[in-house]
Amino acid sequence: MQSRRETLKQSAVVAGLLAGTGLFPGYALAFNAPAFDAKSLADAFRGLGITAPQASKDVSITAPDIAENGAVVPFAAATTLGGVKQILFLVEKNPTVLIAAFNLTDNVEANVSTRAKMAQTSDVYAVAVLTNGRALFAKKEVKVTLGGCGG
Amino acid sequence: MADPMRIRAQAAGGNATVRVLMAHEMETGQRKDAAGKLVAAWHITEVTATHNGKTVMTAEWGTGVAKNPFMQFTIKGAKAGDKVGIMWIDNKGDTRSDEASVT
């Protein structure tokens, strides 16, 4: 249980962070700028408030072994676990590692896919954040062929 | 106003699989133009999905999502005829919303 004082203090911190970026006016209050600007996995997890994500067989990631075109790489993540509140996609060696965060409700399945850009060959992480705060991930290496001619 | 989204929602086994294709540049802010100047980042930051008017999923996107973004998700308990709405906002404050029926 949070006291009112703590809540106010945290709101002020978040507002300060957003104002500090100068890029995001009021409409984007939910957008987590520190996490999306992060240059490393550790920073991204910190920005999201995730501590100690663990590898898990219960989370699956689907991505190609080799992506001929790094501009469009299909990713899919799924888990059979219940109580998933968020699914994240991260690419370790991209200039900004966090690709997307999907905030789920009980009315959707823990199974989402999207397409991302990849700068170079890298490990791709699919992270499932559970309502109890645990974070489980699966990772897969995707090789990006430069030039996109299938070499 | 941006171009319309293409939304397909298909009912299967009590759930509906929704596929969305949006029309957006998704500029990363890393690319340089012909004059060597950085092209400012321009990307979708937030996406909201609704089922019969009720929000079922939201997403936050960074610059790493591919141009003309695609996403797929599954709504539990959606039937043919239900309305699926998708709304996005980009970092310039542009917004677009579209709706489709589950088939």
Domain extent listing, chain A: 1-31, 40-148
Which chain A residues contact residue B63 at CB under 8 A?
36, 96, 117
Q: Is the pLDDT of residue A19 over 70?
A: no
Mean pLDDT of the residues in chain A: 79
Q: B74 and A109: CB-CB below 8 Å?
A: yes
Q: Mean of the pLDDT values across residues A98-117?
A: 91
Min CA distance, A38 vs chain B (Å)? Answer: 10
pLDDT band (50, 70, 90) for residue A89? very high
Q: In the prediction, which pLDDT does A77 show?
A: 93
Which chain A residues contact residue B94 at CB under 8 A?
none
Give dist(CA A130, CA A84) in Å, integer. 4
Q: In the prediction, which pLDDT does B91 show?
A: 87
Q: Is the pLDDT of residue B3 over 90?
A: no
Instruction: Tell me the pLDDT tens digit for each residue of A20-77.
Output: 444 444 344 457 777 888 888 888 888 888 888 888 888 999 989 998 888 899 999 9
Give dist(CA A151, CA A148) in Å, integer. 8
Instruction: Tell me the pLDDT tens digit for each residue of B10-64.
Output: 998 889 999 999 998 888 888 887 888 888 888 899 999 999 989 999 999 988 8
Which chain A residues contact residue B13 at CB under 8 A?
none
CB A135 within 8 A of CB A46: no
Q: In the prediction, which pLDDT does A134 show?
A: 87
Label residues A96-108 b or e (16+ Cβ within 10 Å = b): bbbbbbbbbbebb
Label residues A111-121 b or e (16+ Cβ within 10 Å = b): bbbbbbbbbee
CATH classification code of B6-101: 2.60.40.10
Chain B residues interacting with chain A (CB cutoff of 8 angstroms): 15, 26, 28, 30, 45-46, 49, 51, 54-67, 69-77, 89, 91, 93
User: What's the predicted TM-score (pTM) here?
Assistant: 0.81
Q: In the prediction, which pLDDT does A147 show?
A: 44
Which of A21, A24, A105, A120 would you mutate first to test chain B, the one with the most B CBs within 10 A? A105
Q: In the prediction, which pLDDT does A71 show?
A: 87
The H or E element spanning position B96 is strand B95-101
pLDDT band (50, 70, 90) for residue A3? low
Residue A126 CA: distances (Å) to CA of A34, A56, A71, B92: 19, 10, 19, 28
Q: Mean of the pLDDT values across residues B82-101?
A: 90
Q: In the prediction, which pLDDT does B9 show?
A: 92
Give dist(CA A30, CA A51) in Å, integer. 20
Residue count of chain B: 103
3-state secondary structure of B76: strand
Other Cβ atoms less than 10 A from the Cβ of B93: the count is 12
Provide the CB-side half-sphere exposure for A4 (13 A, CA): 0
Selected from 2.60.40.2470, 2.40.50.140, 3.40.1360.10, 3.50.30.60, the CATH number assigned to the domain covering A40-148 reads: 2.60.40.2470
Q: Is the pLDDT of residue A97 over 70?
A: yes
Q: In the prediction, which pLDDT does A21 show?
A: 46
Domain residue ranges of chain B, discontinuous segments joined by +: 6-101
Q: Report the amino acid identity of residue A32.
A: N
